[in-house]
Chains A and B, each alone.
Chain A
Amino acid sequence: MSRLTRWFAPSTVVRAHCDLPCGVYDPEQARIEAESCYKIIDKYNASDDATFRERAIGIKEERAELVKHHLDVLWHDYFKPEHLEKVPNLHELFWNASKQASKVKASTDIADAKKLLDQIDEIDAAWKATGGAEKTRVAGRPG
């Protein structure tokens, strides 16, 4: 870019991003990562191999972080204000599940992981109640 062009170039970028979202929002993404946490905790508790246990802890923390990420995307991008009519406790569901994911990140108690799975299932029910499956799943995908 020449000096003259740089002089005239805009200093700020604005986004239209209406064409960006793929439109696929599915609690199953969070559920699969939470299942990983559950299984890893199970294997961690069954093992007495120090190296394996150390690796298990690291991987579980990554997976728990992904649970939080997928929950955030679903909460912010899929759910809209009008969905609160059908699911009045929507924000509480996400708040609790995100908190629980943080707990699982630091925990080796299988009960914590099970609780997280149950909370994601509640979010899944909310997603289905608002037509999430019909809106976002590509035709032909099993329910």
Chain B
Amino acid sequence: MRPAIEPGDWLLIDPTTASWPRRGSVVVFREPDSDVLAIKRVAATPGDRVPYADGYLILGADEAWLLSDAPDAELMAAGLGEPVDSRRYGPVPVELLVGRAWFRYAPFGRVGRIASRGD
């Protein structure tokens, strides 16, 4: 999630988030299948249409499309392959949402609000 989130950042998570926050927000959730606690950015919210396979997918009423920030070209150039996000595990249902990451309180030099994309 660089440069928005760096390894070792200390974050405040709003656990009262009951529905998917707006597009561009950074969220903590449990990955489908693996149950790993992960952090990604909301790329599309319920009802949105997202590119999938050779066509499109309409997200359900409780589903979001979560993507990592790393650009594909950069990952491929580094030989890292495709990122682990909705392109791998598909739409994420809202019951797996843990909360919205909204503030970084450490390290000291990086303290501040977690910017949404488009801010």
Q: CB within 8 Å of B: which residues of A?
A: 8-10, 12-24, 76, 80-82, 85, 135-136, 138
Contacts and interface: CB of A to CB of B under 8 A. Distances in A.
Contacts of B52: 82
A13 B37 contact: yes
B100 interface: no
Interface in B1-47: 1-2, 5, 7, 10-11, 28, 33, 36-40
**Majority DSSP secondary structure for residues of B touching A:** loop
B38 A15 contact: yes
A30 to B, nearest CB: 18
A21 B81 contact: yes
B83 A18 contact: yes
Contact of A19 (B83, B90, B105): B83
16 contacts: A8-B106, A13-B37, A15-B38, A16-B7, A16-B39, A18-B75, A19-B68, A19-B75, A19-B78, A19-B83, A21-B83, A23-B79, A23-B82, A81-B90, A82-B53, A85-B53
